[in-house]
Structure 1
């Protein structure tokens, strides 16, 4: 397959995991290339995600690297091929690459856990609420840019309503529920939407109230996308310049799993969380 000049996050992750397997085996890229009958440059391109590989090639590499974790090998084999062609592909010319990667990451995740302190999660926003938030961008989006961002954000929400909906847990601080983006009418409709979607079997919404004596994570917002095996989990952080940062090092994943677990320990149960949301809505 031809090399890719701009590999996606998924392609880069496959290459990174193959590099980890090689390094764990103690082989250099040169030694691995000689063992497999490849050029060293080919191995480097595969590990950089610039060269698409087949599922059989991944299994061959795993055998050469003495990887006995078949669940991981098969998960990596499932990531092979070129770019995933999904609805997000139509936005490649209009949005930053990180947002395209985020949509692809969510599509392939087996579970999503998010933590937010001042914003409603993008996947749970109404159209009016999302538009109000996007209008606050600095510098402001041009009208057509805003509409691209808005339609992209709403399209992402389909993973919660598809035939096999994504298991989704949102941990929200009470402060996020009290922010009145767009005014009280839009905020009231947003809270009503949260109450409605929280009744879905695949959606768990839990609130950390102001009265909680603990707030793990110091208010940092992030998404934790679980992969088919724990080694393929990914953390996504928003950046101040509007992009996305993706973390996948073992220590980083462990840290954010711990933060999520601690946040859940001080959050209200779903039923209690809905009562808080209803109370705030009634007060608007």
Structure 2
């Protein structure tokens, strides 16, 4: 507890140093920069602006309230990271949820790490740190990877090293951006999983993607069933594309009765049926004697 108090006192002391116009620090070579950069500093929330490079666009209100309650009870355990813009003016690099939650409960200051970085470095830090630590949805992660390629000129190999992910993982995320925007929205809203998206991305035509998307939602298809639907789309029969997925489940009247057959005949009976009720029973037997036993049970002879 004493160490925490010492850090808070140190943070307030450094905060006062930063508010002294005679000690304005703008680069790592400035006087007293070594006292600030890398240390925890208590900064005024009003002196901090949000990061325009923040990849997260959705903040769950309930989760934010829970974090605010935790901060009210325990304080900000993990400091945010900011970069210095001007005298007593800072911009978020990471920690926007902590920043928002702190403002929500009326805090005036927040512990922060200060970095001196240019816009490109700030963007890289924000994207990489969010990919690693935040619960971004798959599309937000994909967009973050794409921005690292477009704006930081990262190769996939470099990204793999920087974020600690396999190159194949990064490739799978980036491929999601080939999906129709409506399908991407479905993933962001939680109607589809990344597994569904990875299956649908193999369908080149956007109209067909949307048709399969509607089928997935309407019939609540699993990832495996979606993969089957895509395969049938890619391997059409009789010149006609097939997007329907035939469920492996039998009609309810069979599901209710199959156990009765199994118990009565003492074998595992298989049943196959269409939605219209047409089908067949398969009754296995192990020998001629077993066949005669089942015959007597069925025919009563």
TM class by shorter chain equals under 0.3
Bigger relative contact order, structure 1 or 2, given CA contacts below 8 A and separation 6+? 1
Structure-2-length-normalised TM-score: 0.26
Structure-1-length-normalised TM-score: 0.27
Mark the structure with the bigger radius of gyration.
2
